[in-house]
Amino acid sequence: MSDKNDIKGLIKNYVDNGISRRQFLTTLSAIGLSTAAANSVAKEFAPFVSRKSETKPLPAWAKRVSGTGGKLLVEQLKASGHKFLFVNPSSGEAPIFDALVDESDIQIIKSIHEGALVAMADGYAKATGETPCVIISRPGIPNAMSMMFNAWKDYTPMLIITDDVSVAMLAQDGFEAMDHMTSMTQTMTKWHWSIQSAKKIPEIVRRGQKFASTKPCGPVFLATPSDHLSTKTEAAVIEQEKFSIAMQIRPSADDIKNAAKLILSADNPLILSGDEIRYCQAETELLELAELLGVSVVKDWSASWSKHFPNKHPLYYGIYSATARFPSKVDVLLNLGSRMPLAGSQFRIESHVKLVQVRLDAENLARVYPTNLSIVADLKLAIVDLIEEIKSQSSSRKLKRVANERLEQAKIFKLKNEEVYQSIARKKWNNDPISAERVVLELEELLEKDSVIVSDNDTYSWPIDNYLSYGPDEKDFYFNTGFTLGWGLPAAFGVKLALPDKQVVSLVSDGTFLFSGPQPLWSYSRYKAPVIIIVMNNQSYNNERNRIMSRRGRSYETGRDMVCYLGEPDVDYVKLAAGFDVEGEVVALPAQINAAIKRAIKATRDGQPYLLDMHVERTGNLANSTWHPEYSIAATRKRKV
């Protein structure tokens, strides 16, 4: 047996982490100790051992990070490709902000309202296809949820993170605390989770981003107790691409053959296209398919935020209508990546129509309408395969003949429509108050060809859709299908952040501007976002008034608009903007429009946002009425206090 010095040296090596416990036991046995004695010695010295993990070197796509939970979160977000963090401050998130002090690769974008913050991230995600990260305080969750709903309806990828109370305070109904906080967001998120330890932060952030960015995309909500953010620990940070799923699902050959057969046998096929075309970058393929068959393309008014087919093309018909005059009686409807038209108690597609649906969203595929053929697939791959199969099932001569016949009919119909649209605009050209048609046509003349329109304007959606030119070589367009007002102004900021070299125009109604409040202008001013902001000011929730009146109830019978008039007080949007150091002007007459738009363009080229308060006409029922129920709290006082 070796002498005592050998044993002392061995113990020192063990305690100082020079060797593992297994090596320690093996060496003790080798110098003569029994297994029981060796285990006893190891147990005796175990309290003095601070053993490091026995790990192999990490690969190039991972690194071991030590620090607070906040530092781990920032490092994982960086490894996940985030260049911007959309934040609203919370003291519980201080470790995150501390970690950002020395982090030059990530830029903070701050808003003073959580709803605006989410809408900014929504616009950024739509413009880039990336998954932005939003960091908010827990009392701000309800504010954020208004715009999370829009993101949910539009399949917008987004990671939303908040701090929670410390673990010791959970379930105590304490300061800014609520039980099951993440469950609030359940109905409008793909996943929601509360992080259980500081060490788990990078793993859960990676998983949240993976769920958010996997098609069909959507928001993910994560909460972490504030003490986890301040706890010091160590964890692996891994590049996000190791967890990415492309979802490039190819349809089966049999499904494509059957779809091609149905389409080729149709007398009047119609394509209903949706935002999955944009998400799958299938715009070019959609155009090729439509031209190959001479098939008209429509969209559903409530189910599309993008313009993924050139709207001036003769095959673009516009909004789907079950009673459309053109094309004549549809017999096959091919849905490419869209929600179906609203059904309610009565289908808006006649029972004789054969329905073929191709979508990535299996949950909403064949959800309401009886479907002849349902295909889960990437839209780009599906259309490419469908084009090839159609060519194989029919001669090029026949395809060309049929396509040309349909195209000629479509051109005639499109030309007649355009003549009617221009006639409407001419009749309203000098209207006072200003017509929306005049405003939009002036924009069409003056804006850059590849400008981006961000619209939050339900009332004037028809002229915005029909008088501006959209397409791959024309303007781009962003909207939302959640219809929660207040999205447009902050979303346009997010689009400009993503596309700084594009001319961006925010077209908002006065109602939606008031919903978001002027708060987004704070971010416009701080970050010098040169966006043209046009407030279509008709002093009314115009569409809501018309919908209410269409019910022919007491409001209609008495001619009383109980809730929709906004003209008292008459809000001065230019003064509101000036409070945030954003310049602007009132445009009250038609003759002022052209010069005002030119001044707005010059201001944005000089690097500044510019607001136009455009006084436009109200339309529809009670359009000229300013009546509203009046009430004065001051008049009810018994003493003047």
pLDDT given at position 50: 54
The DSSP annotation for 115-165 comes to HHHHHHHHHHHHHH----EEEE-GGGHHHHHHHHHHHHHTT--EEEEEEE-
Distance CA 628, CA 567 (A): 9
State mean pLDDT over 121-147: 95
**Amino acid identity of 574?**
V
pLDDT given at position 55: 56
Q: Return phi, psi of residue 6, to 5°.
A: -65, -45
Distance CA 197, CA 210 (A): 20
**Of the listed ranges 49-53, 135-139, 297-301, 624-628, the one predicted with least confidence:** 49-53
pLDDT at 233 over 50: yes
pTM: 0.89
Fold match flag (253-414 vs 428-615): yes
CA 604, 606, 608, 614 torsion-angle sign: negative
Element (H, E) at 34: none
pLDDT given at position 517: 77
The DSSP annotation for 188-206 comes to G-SEEEE---GGGHHHHHH
What is the CA angle 204-205-208, rounded to 5? 85
The DSSP annotation for 230-268 comes to H-EEEEEEE-GGGG-----PPPPHHHHHHHHHHHHT-SS
- Three-state DSSP class for 82? coil
Distance CA 567, CA 482 (A): 26
**Of the listed ranges 75-79, 139-143, 371-375, 421-425, the one predicted with least confidence:** 139-143
Choices 3.20.20.220, 3.40.50.970, 3.90.1300.10, 3.50.50.60: CATH for 428-615: 3.40.50.970
Q: Give the chain's length.
A: 641
- Three-state DSSP class for 237? strand
**pLDDT bucket at 13, cuts 50 / 70 / 90:** confident
pLDDT at 314 over 60: yes
- Three-state DSSP class for 398? helix
- In 3D space, the residue among 22, 13, 25, 23 whose CA is nearest the CA of residue 49 turns out to be 13
SS3 content of the chain, % helix, strand, coil (to 5): 45, 15, 40
Neighbouring C-beta atoms of residue 210, cutoff 10 Å: 18
pLDDT given at position 53: 45
Element (H, E) at 323: none
Q: Write out the E strands in 254-403.
A: 269-273, 296-299, 316-319, 332-336, 354-359, 373-376
Judged by phi (left if over 0) then psi (alpha if -120 to 50, else beta), residue 32 lies in left
Residues 266-277 have pLDDT tens digits of 999 999 999 999
Q: What is the CA radius of gyration of the chain?
A: 31
**pLDDT bucket at 582, cuts 50 / 70 / 90:** very high
Distances (CA, A) of 430 to 45, 314, 423, 446, 586: 93, 29, 13, 18, 17
Query: Where are the chain's structural domains?
Result: 4-48, 62-243, 253-414, 428-615
Distance CA 132, CA 109 (A): 11
What does CATH list as the number for 62-243?
3.40.50.970
Pairing label, strands 232-238, 62-68 = antiparallel
pLDDT given at position 592: 98
- Three-state DSSP class for 265? coil
- In 3D space, the residue among 504, 542, 536, 538 whose CA is nearest the CA of residue 613 turns out to be 536
Distance CA 150, CA 154 (A): 6
β partners of residue 84: 107
- In 3D space, the residue among 528, 455, 493 whose CA is nearest the CA of residue 118 turns out to be 493
pLDDT given at position 557: 94
Residues 334-364 have pLDDT tens digits of 999 999 987 777 788 888 999 999 999 999 9
What does CATH list as the number for 253-414?
3.40.50.1220
**Of the listed ranges 144-148, 225-229, 370-374, 579-583, the one predicted with least confidence:** 225-229
pLDDT at 164 over 60: yes
Distance CA 354, CA 351 (A): 8
How far is residue 593 CA from its own chain's centroid? 32
- In 3D space, the residue among 560, 609, 613, 548 whose CA is nearest the CA of residue 580 turns out to be 609
- In 3D space, the residue among 217, 392, 404, 386 whose CA is nearest the CA of residue 286 turns out to be 386
Greater confidence, 34 or 337?
Answer: 337
Greater confidence, 268 or 28?
Answer: 268
pLDDT given at position 327: 75
Burial label, 606 (beta-carbon count in 10 A; 0-12, 13-18, 19+) = exposed
Neighbouring C-beta atoms of residue 173, cutoff 10 Å: 9
pLDDT given at position 18: 62
Angle between helix 21-30 and helix 35-45 axes, rounded to 10 deg: 140
Cis bond upstream, residue 569 (ω within 30): yes
Q: Return phi, psi of residue 133, to 5°.
A: -115, 130
Q: For the chain, count helices (H), then strands (E).
A: 23, 20
